[in-house]
């Protein structure tokens, strides 16, 4: 039997999941997305080319791999078409190996309009969403008036559902001159889109089960980070899906025995885009330095990412809620030049020391990080491919993290390129 792995982000997103998925896709037959949508930005640097994937699984870059978009994903037709065109321009042939669930909900132009209006209405409490319409699309899904891929093939039903949206969202749409509010045009565009996507629509759950039975290996590609999980993250400063391991089961229709291993992707420091608590955030020169050295600007929105030291308290939480077996540590090279590297080992709140994330996550706004300072290794790690080739102090840093979390390190990334990697297990 092939080994089925989950790749999940253990922080607030942008941990380097795209690179890890691309690497591990080499050992898999199938790569599947189970949640989120085009709010994701997954970067793969391979063969002298850079690819940023938003909706299509990063495994598509590896020739011959089959890629699935599950029912838990919210699929934006416009973003999907753009990405197909991007892949084609890059010479990546996706024909016959990209499949979509008929039960996936669609993100439509009016969702993006609502996203913008709601963000504005939140005022100083705005979440800093990606404005990709993700929240409003999941709201429609849960409210049971979403429009799904399957509806594309029944024009009368599609029309009726859009008409219902016209009434439901009147306060956003009526009288608007914004083209995202033009439901007649959306209807026409969707009928065209239906013919493009029709050959890709399959029963994803059934296909994955069959592949599994035939001994194929499946890689489940998480998007966003565990701290952005709608249930277990820093609510309300979260995204609208279950970004954690549980989302794999409901987002693809697979059973728990179709997961053999959970790999948590951990960036060697922490970043966050958008608003919300971030205990180890550095708003000083050190944070700016991490941002510059790590090139920490959003792959989807281009926004500068907030940067800070590694947060073991948050990682203890995400290792637990995901059942992480092993971690892949990325961007170690970004810390090469620092005289000291800090790790947050606990929080302080009202004189008490917290080893775990507080139950009321809003309290994260008040906690103060307790740091353990380790000496920097002050040498260039870029491109190192063997664990014992790393400077001793860098190995100490990594071992400290793994020991605290009680997990093994399966991989260390020492640069953006595919080959700049230590496969620790080999």
- Are the C-beta atoms of residues 266 and 11 closer than 8 Å to each other? yes
Residue among 41 and 72 whose Cβ is closer to ligand GDP: 41
Q: Which of 74, 194, 228, 268 binds ligand IMO (CB under 6 A)?
A: 228
Based on CB atoms, which residue is closest to Mg ion, 21 or 194? Answer: 21
* Minimum gap (Å) between residue 132 Cβ and ligand IMO: 5
416 binds, among ligand IMO, ligand GDP, Mg ion, none (CB under 5 to 8 A by kind): ligand GDP
Residue 74 vs 381, nearer CB to ligand IMO: 74
| Three-state DSSP class for residue 173 | helix
- Which residue lies nearer to Mg ion by CB, 299 or 334? 299
Q: Is 296 in the site for Mg ion (CB under 5 A)?
A: no
Contact 32, 220 (CB under 8 A): yes
How many residues lie near ligand IMO (CB under 6 A)? 23
What is d(CA 392, CA 16) in angstroms, rounded to the nearest whole number?
24
Look at residue 221 and give the partner it binds from ligand IMO, Mg ion, ligand GDP, none, a contact being a CB closer than 5 to 8 Å depending on partner kind. none
* Total Cβ atoms within 10 A of residue 392: 10
- Size of the residue set binding Mg ion (CB under 5 A): 3
Q: Which does 291 bind (CB under 5 to 8 A by kind): ligand GDP, ligand IMO, Mg ion, none?
A: none
Over the window 13 to 42, marking each residue x when it contacts Mg ion by CB under 5 A and - when it does not, the resulting string is -x--------------------------x-
Active-site residue numbers? 14, 42
Q: Where are the beta strands (DSSP E) in 145-300?
A: 218-221, 261-267, 270-272
The residue within the footprint of ligand IMO, chosen from 9, 253, 287, 369 (CB under 6 A), is 9
Residue closer to ligand GDP by CB (options 241, 414) is 414
Of these, 41, 70, 247, 294, which contacts ligand IMO (CB under 6 A)? Answer: 41
Q: C-beta of 187: minimal distance to ligand IMO in Å? A: 25
Task: Tell me if 35 sits within 8 A of 247, measured CB to CB.
Answer: yes
Tell me the residue number closest to ligand IMO, measured at CB: 274
Cα Rg, the chain, nearest whole Å: 21
Q: Which is nearer to ligand GDP, 124 or 426 (CB)?
A: 426
358 CB-side CA count, 13 A: 20
Cα gap 221→34, rounded to integer Å: 7
Decide if residue 299 touches Mg ion (CB under 5 A). Answer: yes
Residues of the shown chain interacting with ligand GDP in the complex, contacts defined by CB under 6 A: 9, 13-19, 41-43, 45, 299, 330-331, 333-334, 413-416
Residue whose CB is less far from ligand IMO, 40 or 424: 40
Q: Is the peptide bond before 184 cis (omega within 30 degrees of 0)?
A: no
Question: According to CB under 5 A, which residues from 38 to 57 bind Mg ion?
Answer: 41
Contact pick of 24, 25, 40, 268 for ligand IMO (by CB under 6 A): 40
Contact 61, 54 (CB under 8 A): no
Binder of residue 287, out of ligand GDP, ligand IMO, Mg ion, none (CB less than 5 to 8 A by kind): none
364 binds, among ligand GDP, Mg ion, ligand IMO, none (CB under 5 to 8 A by kind): none
Cα 405 from chain centre: 21
Contact 23, 42 (CB under 8 A): no
416: number of CA atoms within 13 Å, CB side?
16
Strands (E), 261-358: 261-267, 270-272, 306-308, 310-311, 326-330, 340-349, 352-354
Based on the shown chain and the rule CB under 6 A, indicate whether residue 363 belongs to the binding site for ligand IMO: no
If the CB atoms of residues 18 and 136 are measured against ligand GDP, the closer one turns out to be 18
SS3 194: helix
Give the contacts of 289 (CB within 8 A, at least 6 positions apart): 337, 338
Piece of the chain touching ligand IMO by CB under 6 A; list 8-16, 91-99, 201-209, 323-331: 8-16
Residues whose CB is less than 8 angstroms from the CB of residue 62 and which lie 6 or more positions away in sequence, other chains included = 22, 25, 26
CB 39 within 8 A of CB 63: no
Q: Which does 414 bind (CB under 5 to 8 A by kind): ligand GDP, Mg ion, ligand IMO, none?
A: ligand GDP
Residue 127's Cβ-side half-sphere holds a number of Cα atoms within 13 Å equal to 21
Place of tokens 């926004």: 303
Q: How far is the CB of 171 from ligand GDP (least distance, A)?
A: 34
Question: CA-CA distance, 159 to 312, in Å (whole number)?
Answer: 50
Among 39, 105, 165, 245, binds ligand IMO (CB under 6 A): 39
What is the binding site for Mg ion (CB under 5 A)? 14, 41, 299
């Amino acid at each position: 039997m092939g080994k089925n792995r989950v790749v999940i982000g253990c922080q607030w997103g942008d941990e380097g999941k795209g690179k890890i998925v691309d690497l591990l896709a080499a050992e898999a037959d199938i790569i599947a997305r189970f949640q989120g949508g085009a709010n994701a930005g997954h970067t793969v640097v391979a063969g002298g080319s850079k690819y940023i994937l938003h909706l299509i699984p990063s495994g598509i870059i590896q020739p011959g791999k089959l890629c699935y978009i599950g029912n838990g994903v919210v699929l934006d037709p416009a973003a999907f078409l753009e990405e197909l065109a991007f892949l084609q321009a890059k010479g990546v042939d996706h024909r016959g190996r990209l499949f979509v669930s008929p039960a996936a909900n669609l993100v439509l132009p009016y969702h993006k309009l609502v996203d913008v209006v709601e963000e504005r209405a939140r005022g100083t409490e705005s979440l800093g969403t990606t404005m990709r319409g993700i929240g409003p699309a999941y709201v429609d899904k849960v409210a049971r008036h979403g429009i799904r891929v399957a509806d594309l093939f029944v024009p009368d039903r599609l029309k009726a559902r859009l008409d219902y949206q016209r009434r439901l969202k009147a306060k956003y749409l009526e009288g608007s001159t914004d083209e995202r509010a033009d439901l007649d045009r959306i209807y026409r565009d969707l009928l065209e889109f239906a013919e493009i996507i029709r050959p890709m629509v399959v029963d994803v759950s059934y296909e994955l089960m069959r592949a599994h039975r035939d001994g194929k290996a499946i890689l489940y590609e998480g998007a966003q980070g565990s701290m952005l999980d709608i249930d277990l993250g820093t609510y309300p400063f979260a995204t609208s899906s279950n970004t954690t391991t549980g989302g794999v089961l409901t987002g693809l229709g697979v059973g728990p025995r179709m997961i053999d291993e959970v790999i948590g992707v951990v960036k060697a420091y922490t970043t966050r885009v958008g608003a919300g608590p971030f205990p180890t955030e550095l708003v000083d020169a050190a944070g700016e330095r991490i941002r510059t050295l790590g090139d920490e600007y959003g792959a989807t929105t281009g926004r500068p990412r907030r940067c800070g030291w590694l947060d073991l308290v948050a990682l203890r939480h995400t290792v637990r809620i995901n059942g992480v077996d092993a971690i892949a540590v990325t961007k170690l090279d970004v810390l090469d030049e620092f005289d000291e590297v800090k790790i947050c080992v606990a929080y302080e709140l009202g004189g008490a020391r917290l080893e775990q994330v507080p139950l009321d996550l809003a309290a994260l706004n008040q906690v103060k990080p307790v740091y353990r300072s380790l000496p920097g290794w002050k040498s260039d790690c870029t491109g190192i491919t063997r664990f014992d080739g790393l400077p001793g102090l860098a190995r100490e840093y990594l071992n400290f993290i793994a020991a605290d979390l009680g997990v093994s390190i399966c991989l260390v990334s020492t640069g953006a390129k595919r080959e700049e990697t230590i496969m620790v297990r080999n």
